[in-house]
Structure 1
Amino acid sequence: MTTTHEFWLAGRRATGDAEFEVHHSYDGSLVGRVSVPTDAQVEEAVAAAAAVAPAFAATPAHVRATALDHVARRLTERTEEIARLITAENGKPIKWARGEVGRAASVFRWAAEEARRTNGETMRLDTDPGGVGRFAVVRRFPRGVVLGIAPFNFPLNLVAHKVAPAIAVGAPIILKPAPATPLSAMVLGEILAETELPAGSWSVLPVPNEKMPALVQDPRLPVISFTGSDKVGYQIMDSVPRKHVTLELGGNAAAVVLADWSSEADLDWAATRIAMFANYQGGQSCISVQRVIADATVYDALVEKVVAKVKAQVTGDPGADATDVGPLVDENAAKRVESWVDDAVTKGAKVLVGGTREGATYAPTVLAELPDDAILATAEVFGPVLSLHRVDSTDEAFAAVNDSKFGLQAGVFTHDLQTAFKAHQVLEVGGVVIGDAPSYRADQMPYGGVKDSGVGREGVKYAMGDFTYEKVLVLTGLDL
């Protein structure tokens, strides 16, 4: 008998009067049922969060840090169990699911450390005659309750990137997991319930998408942290212009291989990393490699290697240790990718490998000669598809990267330090990775984009900044 998972209302288990099912995208099996909160229960959670907000903001740093340390430790202890759950609800290969649990544990560990060392700053004000005897203390305080809206592609780690910074700064959080992948968030709730965090400081509510507008509009939730599609993200932002909204949205990430990256070892490394990170998570990552932009002097050799490396990606049961590429989150997602590739081929693109679908699994695919009017040329595919593009100079390569409405991250394969700094200067993205694919992310660094890739930054310290505001205390009459 399949278990019905309770949700977490103001830190305690609860059930509603309806439920929905979560199915494994690889074989269609039932993974679990999830209870849905009633409108009254959602109201109870929001009211509890608003009521506890002043007290939670005033909790000593050691209380929050100890709770965060506990979560990090328990995630590590339960790695295999949680990884299997991620694979079951999301479809990502178990090797990547284990990595996700490890990253989530790291996020909570970083949050514990940041909670302990967030001290504010001081400044003397007698730098001008009017400030003689005055001294300022600048500290950060929570903006209020955070509404965290998480996506399906990293059902634990991207939840962690909302919950951990909120707890670190003493901001209550209402977490809304993705309907396709709520189970990992429920397990996180189990672990949070083992801590001494005050009742009301956190809730995990699997609210249906159609009921979210009311939560988004609720004035008791002044901060919204959303990760997902640019369409939905900007709809949220436009609907609440007076709230503090952070958005981590889509991408169309490019890997640039320049002329100086030309040795056999160089090209083999680039091809390996491109093939891996175009297809990891089934391509369902905002910084998955979607475009490969290569200098003409290395293009042909690189193409041969990329195709070979992509062919070597093991596709199949995500529960098997050897699997590199599993299914997409559901069959509709795979059908959409299929339709986009078909559109590109109809308009003149050439399929070098892949281009086939079986259920929710889409084969790792490489396209050449992608026309500018293809959907894949401008939109985020969110699937295991990459396209190859030939350019004649570094300037042309960088212009091609910037020829996108998105600007999340880019990878640049070059040995030249000047070129690396030029990439950092001219590429319209939130992050540039030199000597590797654009898909590298360290969870403590600022992560986010420009243009339609969003506003604000994730990364524990930087999210803590988004969830708080600066308040100045001026002391007067001091002998400095």
Structure 2
Amino acid sequence: MKLKDYSLFINGEWKRGEQFYDLKSPYSGEVIARIPLANKKDVIHALDSAKKASRQMRKLSALERSKILERVSEKFEERLEECAYTLAMENAKPINAARGEIQRTIETYKFAAEEAKKITGETIPMDAAQSGKGRFGFTKKEPLGVIAAITPFNFPFNLVAHKLGPAFATGNTVVLKPASQTPLSAIMTAEIFEEAGLPKGALNVLFGKGGDIGDLLVTNPNVKMITFTGSVEVGLQIKEKAGLKKTTLELGSNSAVIVNDVNNIEAVARRCAEGAFAYSGQTCISVQRIYVHHTLYDDFLEAFIQETKRVKVGDPMKEDTVVSSLIHPKEAKRIENWLQEVDSKNIVQGGEREGSIIEPTVITNVNPDMAVSCQEAFAPIVSVNKYKDWEEAIKLVNDSQYGLQAGVYTNSIDKAFAAVHEIEVGGVIVNDIPSFRVDQMPYGGVKNSGTGREGIKYSMEEMCELKLGVFNLL
């Protein structure tokens, strides 16, 4: 079968590249497409196109922007199975989970379409100041202009939607650089926006190495904001190079759950297993650390191991698969090396690697300084430790360089509110796992988990400039 050569998307046109790379399926290792590599000239062309298109985007009414986004949502619904199949091919996301991501993508663009019609400023009570009598003040929100969006492999449709949706809702333009492993989802997204009537040049899609393209995007004076989801190391580099540009950085995590007191230990164990092993643990808010009250520990661990044994491993195209290949063989080897640091008697389930697949793995009695605990695994491994009292549990959760989301299971309303106040994260989920997310809620972290917030309404606030107008009425 002849492989298809794909194109860059610049200024509303599909542009053939001069060089290509082979895109391989993480599961089969087969080459599935040839993807163009953007050069410096392509990057400059895309940025210029985005800058020119920003004038037209600013002129669109709120209703016009909303209608474009609504059409995008409808077209994703029409192509749901095609998009899900693409996900399973290019990043080995199990097909059922892939469908779930497309459903969320549809919702995310719907939220953006709705929020596009709600952008508003406020009036300022100028006469509350002695010198403000006879003056009328108000604020309005204006688009920034060109936004550079750099996105990861793990949710290549929905995390792109969390950048494009609010950007276009607020009248901005975007140059998108998706992860090298997931270009096909970005191409399909561009096709859908093209069909939905987005002005030419408002969306540009480039492929290539972050060091080649990313630096040009981050340092270019035409770019007014960088929105990035990825590693801490790259996020810090972007922060250093961005200067006075706005930045939203959604970085790493090693999310924790406290199991303090529950009515149904089996149900909690089942839910924690879902959070730990869905999409092979390759989500920023995957459950990686579980701290269980010592009185519940043995029962929870037994139930959790049984749930882990039920997790289906294999071909992402099979309906019941939960864990498949990690995104690259080197990631599986990294986890294998991490597990070799752990005493074998503490690996109570799984722990083996087969090619790019890591078995769902449960570890106990983990030293908090070990990589499997203090680093971000991005793999189907989870540690289960016991604690004696509430203060110890909070301390264990907070003993991390990250702070994205945490989960707490408790029947005590006092402890529930204490968890929200005391845990150092961007979001505390009570009586559920930290992996819970709906796309309209504010989402982001503290410490090395990043800066700024996503969630359509909250991203839109980041992507606007606040302008003040004052009239002297005397």
Matched to 1:4, the amino acid is D
C-alpha distance in structure 2 between counterparts of 1:16 and 1:50, whole Å: 22
Q: 2:346 aligns with which of 347, 350, 361?
A: 350
- Residue of structure 1 equivalent to 2:439: 443
Paired residues for 1:17-416 under 5 Å = 17-211=18-212, 212-258=214-260, 260-261=261-262, 263=263, 266-345=264-343, 350-416=346-412
Greater mean alpha carbon deviation, residues 59-68 or residues 183-192: 59-68
Aligned-partner SS, 1:140: strand
Aligned-partner SS, 2:223: coil
Aligned-partner SS, 2:196: coil
Overall identity of the aligned pairs, in %: 39
Matched to 1:422, the amino acid is A
**Structure 1 residue 55 displacement after superposition:** 3.1
CA deviations 1:4-41 (Å, max 9, x no partner) are 22221122211110111211111112221112223222
C-alpha distance in structure 1 between counterparts of 2:55 and 2:200, whole Å: 13
Q: Is contact 1:344–1:375 with CA below 8 Å preserved after alignment?
A: no
Q: Is contact 1:15–1:36 with CA below 8 Å preserved after alignment?
A: no
Q: Is contact 1:349–1:371 with CA below 8 Å preserved after alignment?
A: no
**Structure 1 residue 197 displacement after superposition:** 2.2
* TM-score, normalising length: structure 1: 0.96
Q: Is contact 2:403–2:424 with CA below 8 Å preserved after alignment?
A: yes
CA deviations 1:243-279 (Å, max 9, x no partner) are 1111000001001100x31x3xx21111001111101
Aligned-partner SS, 1:210: helix
C-alpha distance in structure 2 between counterparts of 1:95 and 1:121, whole Å: 44
**Structure 1 residue 54 displacement after superposition:** 3.0
C-alpha distance in structure 1 between counterparts of 2:77 and 2:472, whole Å: 49
CA deviations 1:429-461 (Å, max 9, x no partner) are 000111111100011111000000000011111
Greater mean alpha carbon deviation, residues 44-53 or residues 66-75: 44-53
| Stretches of structure 1 lacking an aligned partner (at least 5 in a row) | none
C-alpha distance in structure 2 between counterparts of 1:294 and 1:115, whole Å: 44
- Residue of structure 1 equivalent to 2:15: 14
How many residues matched?
472
Q: Is contact 2:50–2:173 with CA below 8 Å preserved after alignment?
A: yes
**Structure 1 residue 407 displacement after superposition:** 0.1
C-alpha distance in structure 1 between counterparts of 2:204 and 2:166, whole Å: 15
**Structure 1 residue 338 displacement after superposition:** 1.0
Matched to 1:442, the amino acid is V
Matched to 1:225, the amino acid is T
Aligned-partner SS, 1:126: helix
**Structure 1 residue 89 displacement after superposition:** 0.3
C-alpha distance in structure 2 between counterparts of 1:55 and 1:126, whole Å: 37
**Structure 1 residue 349 displacement after superposition:** 6.4
Structure 1 residue 468 corresponds to structure 2 residue 464: yes
**Structure 1 residue 208 displacement after superposition:** 2.1
C-alpha distance in structure 2 between counterparts of 1:179 and 1:166, whole Å: 22
Aligned-partner SS, 1:440: coil
**Structure 1 residue 195 displacement after superposition:** 2.5
C-alpha distance in structure 2 between counterparts of 1:58 and 1:247, whole Å: 29
Matched to 1:118, the amino acid is I
**Structure 1 residue 393 displacement after superposition:** 1.1
Q: Is contact 1:287–1:438 with CA below 8 Å preserved after alignment?
A: yes
* TM-score, normalising length: structure 2: 0.97
Q: Is contact 2:115–2:169 with CA below 8 Å preserved after alignment?
A: yes
Q: Is contact 2:50–2:202 with CA below 8 Å preserved after alignment?
A: yes
